Structures are given as C-alpha cells and as structure tokens.
Amino acid sequence: MGAKKKTTSRATGRKKVAEPKGMSASTPSDEMSLHDEEAIEFDDVLSDDRRVAAEEAYDEAINDDDDFEVKAEKYRRRMLALSREAAEERDADMRTRVVKATPLHDAEEAQEQMQLLGQQHTTEELRDRIQETVRVLSKFKEEREEERTRAEYMELLRSDVMELYEYNEFLTDAILLLFPPAEAVEFFEAMEKPRPTTIRVNTLKAKRRDLVQTLVKRGMNVEPLEKWSKVGLQVFESNVPIAGTIEYLAGHYMLQSAVSFLPVMALAPQEKERILDMAAAPGGKTTYIAQLMKNTGVLFANDVSEPRTKSLNANLQRLGVMNAVVTNYDGAGYDKVMRNFDRVLLDAPCTGSGIISRDKSIKTSKHYEDVQRASQQQRSLLLSAIDAVKVGGYVVYSTCSFLVEENEAVVEFAVRRRHVEIVEMGLPFGRPGLTKYRHHRFHEKMQCSRRFFPHVHNMDGFFVCKLKKLSSDRTDVHDAKEEVERTENGLSRRGKSGEKMASKRQRDGNTHAVARTPAKASRLSVPPPKGRSGKASPR
C-alpha cells in the first residue's frame, strides 16, 4: 500500500488525514465549500473556538461511513451554522460600538447606522446613551467632542428621550426648557412611575387615629402622611377595595391625591366665611374646604358641567357637608351672578401635563394649540374669580400642569389687569414659582407661588398661587403701547436660533405666540381672550 496522500483544508488550513475509500483526492474542492449566498470568508470572521469547531466538523465528515453526498451536506450545514453565529456576533459588536459612539456623533448618522443594520434601539441602549449625553452636557467644555456644539448634543438628547419615553415634540421641548438636562431625565423617569395612593380623613365624621385602626383591621396597610398634613393617610397596600369599605361609603374618608390638599391649605378657609369653589367637581377640594369651615358659613360649589355636578352632589352628601350650595354656571361669568366672597378657589381646567403618570395619552395628545386654548380660558376664569372676591379677600389659583403658559404667565396676566398682589401661602414645601423663564421676566413676587414635581416631591406636577385683592380697580382697556404682538413663544431649546425653529414650525403649521410689551423685560403669554364667552371645560 502506497503512502497516504495528504491534502489541505480550505476552511481551516489544516492538513487533512487520508481520505477513506470512495472519497477521491481528485474530488473538486468546491464540493466541500459552501454553495450558499450567505457564505463568508471563514478565515476572516471565525474566532479561535469556531476554527476548532470547523476542524472537528471536517474530521467528522471525513471519517464518517456515510456516502459522499451525505458527508458534504453535513459539513456544509455545520459550516453555515458557524458562519451565521460569527456574523451575528459581528453585528452585535457593531451595534454596541454604534451605541457607545453616538454621543460623539450626529443623531442622524447614528440612526442611519441602526437602520442599515435593520435594528431598533433597545431600552438599555437608549438609557445608556442618554446618560452618556447628560454626562457630556454636565461637563461640556471638558467632555465634548471637538467641533461639536451644545445644540447638537441637546438635539441627540431630545431625540433619544422622545423615543424612549414616547413624548411628542412639544412636551419634550417644554420639559427640556424647564430643567437642566440631568434633572429633565429624572423628571421623565418619575413620570413613568405611579404616585402613592392617599386618602383624606373627613374630620366631620371621623378622627384619623380611630380610622387608621379600623382600616388596618379591614386589611389595609396605612400610615399617616408626612407632618405637613394632619388629615392625610398613605395606603401602601390593601386586601380590600379602597372605595368599597363601609367607612368609605359612610363618608369617613375621601380617596384623594396628596397634592390636591395643597390648594385648600393655601386658601386657609375660616369658619362662617362665604367661599366659592369655582370648578368644584367631583368635590375633593370642596369637601375639604367644608371640613375646615366645620360646616359653618356658606360654600358655593360651582361647575360648568351639569353631569359632573351629580358626582359633586353625591360626595357632598356622603361626607356629610351641610353648608354647600351647588351651582351650574360658566365660571368665566360668575362675577356677574354673585360677588363679595371672602375667598375663591380656582383649580382651573388645564392640559393635565402634570398627571402623565395617571394618563399616558397626554404624552402625545397635548400640543401648543391645546395650551393656548387652556391659557386663554384660565385667564378669563382668573379675572372672574378676582372680580367675584371682595376687597381684602383671597383667590387661590392652581393647575395640575407644569407648563409656564398655564401658570406664571396666567398669574402675570391677572396681576397686570387687576389690583391684586401675590402673597405667601404658608405651604411648608414646594419650589418657588419662576420669576425668569429664558428671556421672559415675571413679577418678583411670583416666587411666593409654589411648584410641585414628581421627581422632587413624589407628587403629580402642580402649581399653586395665592392672590390678595387690594381694590376693585381694573385695566381692561389696553392703550396702543400695551397691544400684544404675536411671535414665536420661545419653547425652542435652541436659544438664539429660535427664529429658525419658528420658521420651521410655521412651515409645519405649528406656530407659537408670545405676548410682548414695550417694557424692558418681555413677558411670556399668549394673546389675551377677546371676551369671556368661552366655557370652561371640566377637569
């Protein structure tokens, strides 16, 4: 028997052992190669462990007793599997490099690379890139890539948070304008989590200590709210429906968010006063006012929506409120119906941007036009509330929105048109209202108002401001110098390049407006309403 002939493997470069009988050395080498469109050059992509696997696959095929066709097919399938594994590993590595590199590249370029790979960003990838972008922005001079501007990094952050948290452009820009980048991300994260469940003890019928003991026996894990509230309880878990206990049905407590206690606390109702709750339904704040009044005086509970007054009446009866009169008027004209109230609470209808954790649809359903309509309505309601209160009386204005256009801008509008002043509320916590917002300036006493945020106070986004009426003077008629001029409202994050975004939004049919006066400091606001005919939409 002659010497055994040796050949070399095309796949591995390893010398082959002698072929068994039936496998000719003259067999075309391409019979053992991969006749497949997905075939790749193994020497370039296979890792060391896969090279060993390829050699073992070849040896197994050579020494197998099967026919040549079977041997070739086994080998082909094994090599194809190895090549696919290598390709997937290579693509995964490329995606990782793309994600790590994108903070230093244009967002559009990164997106194009992901599209070429046919991949979408994962949640982890987006979070990592957002954190990296925030890190660079926090130490921009030291960490930024050369020739990259802050605007480019902000645009990357903007696109990533929109994709991760699923907000529309308008609300994304509003949040990024309101907070520094790192805090904005904290705000987005906090809005994804539910707020604590809280109830308010109705002291007209029960005492907090006794109610806690009773509810614990019912299967609720409850504890007193923080020191700022003497009537609040936080529910950690419950084996029974919170709104289904005998105590709830008997009116011993009200299921109510903690942040909604604050406007009533700011109003500070007193016994035997004449008070108006201008937008009262479903009655959480109204019943709290009656509770603090100890069922004395007269409490007018108004709501523009007749169907909603049914739930208002039901809660008043359940909680044992005896001093309330329910009315059904448009709040914007309430001062034409009744006046001389000691105090007025206006928890105004709004976009609800502060309660996204309860209603995720707000992320994409609210646009600038909605804010403009809400702001005009809020101005009419606030002027009516001021006109309805007596001189020396108080008006508390609140919204469940974090947008400046619905808060400071509305109060500023009222302060310029009625003889009122912003006063302290006595609330033990909360961030001061804004006196500066980009290039806009508000009254210096706006810092007496309070803002509440989910990432800071673990509450819904909220705004509360208290006004004291100094006289009945008003300035409804504007002279020529006070006429407002419609222009870009400044919600762009691009600073000095806001004009470019304004022109873009005009092309897109999404124009914004800001009221400007000839004063040195411009004031953020949308044009004042032409009249008071618009009805308030219930919250």
Query: Known binding site: residues?
Result: 279-285, 303, 330, 347
Q: What are phi and psi of 520, to 5 degrees?
A: -65, -40
Number of residues that make up the chain: 539
**Rounded distance between C-alpha atoms, residue 473 and residue 456, angstroms:** 39
Give the active site residue among 350, 400, 448, 465.
400
Asked whether 87 and 36 are in contact (CB, 8 A), the reply is no
Selection from 41, 339, 405, 363 nearest residue 191 by Cα? 363
What is the residue type of 58? Y
Burial 187-219 (b: 16+ CB within 10 A, else e): bbebbeeebebbbbbbbbbbebeebbebbeebe
The rounded distance, in Å, linking the Cα atoms of 413 and 381 is 12
**Which residue(s) pair with 432 in the sheet?**
450
Specify whether the backbone of 380 is left (phi greater than 0), alpha (psi in -120 to 50) or beta.
alpha
* Bridge partner list, 344: 276, 395
- Residue 465 a catalytic site member: no
- Bind-site residues for S-adenosyl-L-methionine: 279-285, 303, 330, 347
Neighbouring CB atoms inside 10 A of 3's CB total 6
The whole-angstrom separation of Cα 515 and Cα 264 is: 31
DSSP 297: S
Q: Which amino acid is at 240?
A: V
How far is it, in rounded angstroms, from Cα 75 to Cα 428?
76
Q: Which residues are known catalytic residues?
A: 400
